[in-house]
Each structure stands twice: as C-alpha cells, then as structure tokens.
Structure 1
C-alpha cells in the first residue's frame, strides 16, 4: 500500500461504489408523478437544445462531448462531476426555507458509520498526523435556542488533501468520527486543520478543467452532518479565513456564514468556537 498513488480513476470508482452502497435514490422518488418527470426531463433537454442552437455547436464538438460523457462513466467520475458542478444548486433550493444554519454540499467522500466517540473526544488519526492541531468547541440548539442532544458527524481530508477510504495507504477511519452531544448540546472535538486540495485531474473531469482553462482547487474545509430528533438534518462544509480559493471554489460551495474564525495558540495549535442551529421538522 505504501507505494500506491492516489488517482482520479481510483477515487472516482470508490466514490461510485460507495454511492451505490449507501444511497437508494429511486426509492425516494418512486412516487414522483409522471408529469413531473416529463417536465424536468423536457426542460433539461430543452436547455441543451437551446445551447446547441444559440452557439451553433458543430458535429465535431458534439462527438467530443459524447466521447467525454462516455469517459466520465467509464472512469466512475459521475459522483465527482455532479457533486462539484451541480450539487450546490440543488442544496440551495432544498434548504432555502431554513432559518437555522446554512448548509453546503455533501461531496462524494462521505462514509456512514464512522466511530462513535462521545461529546469530548479526538477524531481517529495517525500517530504524528501532519497538520495544525485544531480544537473545535460548539453547541447544537434548535431555532428557539433550546439545547439539543445531537449527533455531529465529522470527516475531512488530511494535510495532503486525501480522504480515508478513497486513497491508498490511509487507515480506514482516519479523520472520520461521530460525536454525540449531551442534553446541553455541547461538543468538543480535537482534530487537525485540513489543507486546500485539487479535485482529481487525471481523469475526464480534469480534461474538462484543462480544456475550459479552469482551476481545480477546493479551499480547506471540514465536512459535517448534524442531526437531532425532530429536526432537519444539516449537511455543511466549514471553511477557514484567508484561503485563496474561498472566492473561486471549483465546487461553488463556500458561503460567508460557513467561514470559521480560528484563534492561534502559543503552541502552534488553533482553536475555533462554532455551533449549529437546526430547524425543526415541519409538520
């Protein structure tokens, strides 16, 4: 394992396999009326048709698109493509009604079932894990201020930009943990501050980025899922101030409300205070 190198193909295949294991997408929409399926399919296709007409797309360009779409599927990069360039709009629409914390995209690297660690714990990490030590304190409340006994799932990349279970040579649950607050809603987590990273560029998504002259960078971020009985699940990413790609994130997922305010310690560590307000489920 030590001499294996992380690749977009391997990462994409792992993300696709994980999606199939953890999601039941058709169960959630099995009762969708045919009229809505018809509406959405026709409007998406209509937007494609309008782009072709407006910009006089040639057969060479069309065939290049067809070949690229086939490559995305063969490389297992559909989760990467959709999570980077589409999901942020779905998330905006799905959570626009909320009065509590702002959310963000889940991304392709979530894995359920991370070790349960309590309300005050250190996330699993390797001995001498590279990166700035980070102490995160916060609490979870409802929109009326009531403290909630909640679950905070945390996962993030390491200091090289890799996620456990999606890159070789990293322990299975490295930098992944589930923290359960007490009735007071408070939690205290010790982890490391992740680094910015580029999304995989050695596959077809990378070809699109190169052809369009885009960059592939995501700012450093922590992923969380916060849940409590009777409240809506919050999925979010938390960012760090001063990152050069907070303003031009390739995934368009940064929101001002999600940027942390860490305080540097004398020992080179950092501390941050950031909590969550969850919306009650609407009856």
Structure 2
C-alpha cells in the first residue's frame, strides 16, 4: 500500500477549509458586547507584545505577508486548530465530570459509514500497520451502560495520512461511526496510526521553521462519543511512551487520554480497552 502522491499544505489546507465551511457551528446571533470585549482584549494583548519586543517595521511587514499567505494557503483552520483550539477546548470542558476531551483538529469529516457492536473500519486490502483492537464501554456518570451510543472514530494511517486530506486514499479509509451494543460495548478493529508531521510547505510550516519548533504530532486516535440526552465528547487518545507525546506541537495531550496497548488475545497485533463516561446534556 502506498500513497501515490505526497500530501501538501495547500491541498490539506483547502480540504480543511472546505470542511470547516460546511459546519453550522458559530452561525446565528452575534453578541456584540462579547465580540467587543474579546476583540479589545486580543488587540490589547497584541499591542503589548509589540511594545515588549520593540517590533520593527520589517518584522511588521513580514507578519502582514505571513497573515496573507495563511489565507492564500487555506491554512487558517490548520493554524488555529494547532495553536489555539486546545485552550478553547479547556475552557469549554471545565465543567465535565466524565470522559476527558481534547481538540477536534482539522481532519474530521461527518457522515462516515455506520455499524453496531463489533466492526472493522474500512481499509485497503493491503493496509499497512499493526492490527489494533480498540474496545470499551460507553456509560453514564453512574456507570450504567449506554446502548446505541455512537463512537465516531477516525485516525491517520501507518504513513501518517488521513483519508480525504491526502491523495490516493479511499474516501472513508480508517473512518467509521460505531454504535454500542445493548450492553454499551464497542469493539473496533483497525490499525495502529503513526505520528504525523503538520504540513510544513505552507504558512503554518513557515512559522514553525522560523521559530525553530518541530512540526510533529504524536500518534493518536480521534473520537466523538455521543448518546441521546448526553453531552458529546470530542477527544484524542495517545499511546503511552509514543514519540512526541511529551512535546506535541498542538499541546493537546493529557494524562487521562493515554492508551496502554497489550498483545491482542487473538495473537495478532495489539488491543486496548478504553471506557467513556458521558455527562448529562
């Protein structure tokens, strides 16, 4: 199995931008007082940074050119999801008592194929990677299992690419919506994902390079878990001891989100059990 063409920042950015535009989130009534308060504080903070570092006009012009390039590359969703979303998620999840969440990231696509109970994610016949069984139970905060809860799962392949955001990969590869069985359990057969590098040939990569940072994210599995009457939880699950877990460029790793794989009881690959307790809506 190969990805016949390399994913580019422009291609990935365009896909992420189009996906974001299809969302309804953020539309509707605008609270002008909150817009004014947030915008004023943001601009004041930026003014303070300019004064603190004695920004030159050359640096200011470079900033303007970079901002324009972010838009031209379609990378605002990528940039904001990498550098800003983790704080937005932290603020919005502070009330939760159940499962721990983290950022969604730019690569979610709604409408993945659905199944119930035990399933194997769509993948190529020669899909590379270690076979991986991801299983567990979805419950309420009292531990009562939730039948027909939905585990919406997606992740990168063994080369670090996402379907619909890199060429040469089938549309729904390693994506699915799995509904729990009557006892609240799910069993999802897939392959272990690889770490991946934020596309670095665009504006976001230019900033990362200029700052001397690395552009890697640790291997992770994305999930959105939901059930009627419960709050949707969006999360990413990481592998204990995995590369970049301690210095994730997106700062999205939390101790509660760590997976501890063991050899699969089937004798093939690995398996892990991870349970989700959902807060009431």
- Report the TM-score, using the length of structure 1 for normalisation: 0.95
The answer on 1:37 being equivalent to 2:35 is yes
Give 1:194's aligned residue.
193
What secondary structure sits across from 1:11 in the alignment? Answer: helix
Give 1:275's aligned residue.
275
What's the CA shift for 1:213? 0.2
What's the CA shift for 1:2? 6.6
What's the CA shift for 1:183? 3.1
1:2/1:234 CA distance change after superposition, 3 Å: closer
- Cα shift readout 1:186-233 (whole Å, capped 9, x = no counterpart): 111100000011110010111101100000010000000000111110
Give 1:134's aligned residue.
132
What secondary structure sits across from 2:22 in the alignment? Answer: helix
The number of residues matched between the two structures is 278
Superposed CA RMSD = 1.4
Runs (4+) off by over 6 Å: none
Give 1:26's aligned residue.
27
1:236/1:2 CA distance change after superposition, 3 Å: closer
What's the CA shift for 1:11? 0.4
What secondary structure sits across from 1:107 in the alignment? Answer: coil
Give 2:217's aligned residue.
218
Q: More displaced, 16-25 or 94-103? A: 16-25
What's the CA shift for 1:268? 4.8
What are the equivalent positions in structure 2 for 1:79-94 lying under 5 Å apart?
Answer: 79-94=77-92
Distance 1:172 1:203 in 2: 24
What secondary structure sits across from 2:151 in the alignment? Answer: strand
Give 2:14's aligned residue.
13
Q: More displaced, 158-167 or 263-272? A: 263-272
What secondary structure sits across from 2:108 in the alignment? Answer: coil
Distance 2:272 2:126 in 1: 21
C-alpha contact 2:133 2:264 (8 A) present in aligned 1: no
1:147/1:246 CA distance change after superposition, 3 Å: same
- Report the TM-score, using the length of structure 2 for normalisation: 0.96
What's the CA shift for 1:26? 2.2
What are the equivalent positions in structure 2 for 1:1-283 lying under 5 Å apart?
Answer: 3-27=4-28, 30-32=29-31, 34-149=32-147, 150-265=149-264, 267-281=267-281
List gaps (5 residues or longer) in structure 1.
none
1:109/1:134 CA distance change after superposition, 3 Å: same
Distance 1:249 1:77 in 2: 19
Distance 1:144 1:129 in 2: 39
Distance 2:251 2:25 in 1: 26
Distance 1:192 1:262 in 2: 12
Distance 1:155 1:137 in 2: 14
What's the CA shift for 1:3? 4.3
- Cα shift readout 1:121-163 (whole Å, capped 9, x = no counterpart): 1000000210110011100001111111200000000011100
What secondary structure sits across from 1:117 in the alignment? Answer: strand
